[in-house]
Structure 1
Amino acid sequence: MVRTPLTQAERERGERLGRFLREARGGRSMADVAARAGISAETLRKIETGRAPTPAFFTVAALAGVLGLSMDDLVVRSVLVAA
């Protein structure tokens, strides 16, 4: 199955999400946050760097829970707010 290429807006939204999650992680290690969210550190790295601009909803929800963020925070700060 061939995946439809992402638009520029989708790529930018993924980069904003990644920046916001990285900032929210603060001084906590990537490995610790990823393990608590039930994902690999590599998956978190890809999300934070924008290389995985469209992570699964449940992955984002798990990260939000670990980082003490609401889904509203994520929507407003990373999806709607332009960089």
Structure 2
Amino acid sequence: MVRLPLTPEEIERGRRLGALLREARGDRSILDVALRAQVSPETLRKIETGRIATPAFPTIAAVSDELGISLDTLWHAVNTAPADTVTGPARAS
């Protein structure tokens, strides 16, 4: 099976997803969250940095559950927010 290249929109959604999960993780370590969600710490790191732009649904379900984020909230935030609003609005200089 040949995997098609990701579109720019898919890549951007992956970045928003990663930023949102990183923000929700707060001070908790990647290791702690990953182990509790039963996913690889390396996988979680790649998701948070946007290197895995389209992670598997069970992985995101497990991580979001561990972080206390509903899948509805996560979907809405990732699919409707411009990239700069995930971590907060830009401040005027």
Which runs of 4 or more aligned residues in structure 1 lie more than 3 Å from their structure 2 counterparts after TM superposition? none
Gaps of 5+ in 1: none
Local SS of the residue matching 1:72: helix
Letter in 1 for 2:12: E
Provide the rounded CA distance (Å) in 2 between the counterparts of 1:71 and 1:80.
Answer: 14
Gaps of 5+ in 2: 84-93
**Larger radius of gyration, structure 1 or 2?**
2
Corresponding residue for residue 75 of structure 1 = 75
TM-score (norm 1): 0.96
Q: CA deviation at 1:48?
A: 0.2
Letter in 2 for 1:80: T
CA RMSD of aligned residues (A): 0.7
Provide the rounded CA distance (Å) in 2 between the counterparts of 1:18 and 1:31.
Answer: 16
Q: CA deviation at 1:79?
A: 2.0
Provide the rounded CA distance (Å) in 1 between the counterparts of 2:24 and 2:73.
Answer: 11
* Residue 56 (structure 2) pairs with residue 56 (structure 1): yes
Provide the rounded CA distance (Å) in 2 between the counterparts of 1:77 and 1:26.
Answer: 17
* Residue 8 (structure 2) pairs with residue 8 (structure 1): yes
Letter in 1 for 2:44: L
Letter in 1 for 2:32: D
Q: CA deviation at 1:72?
A: 1.2
TM-score (norm 2): 0.86
Q: How many aligned positions are there?
A: 83
Letter in 2 for 1:76: H
Q: Percent identity?
A: 60
Structure with higher helix content: 1
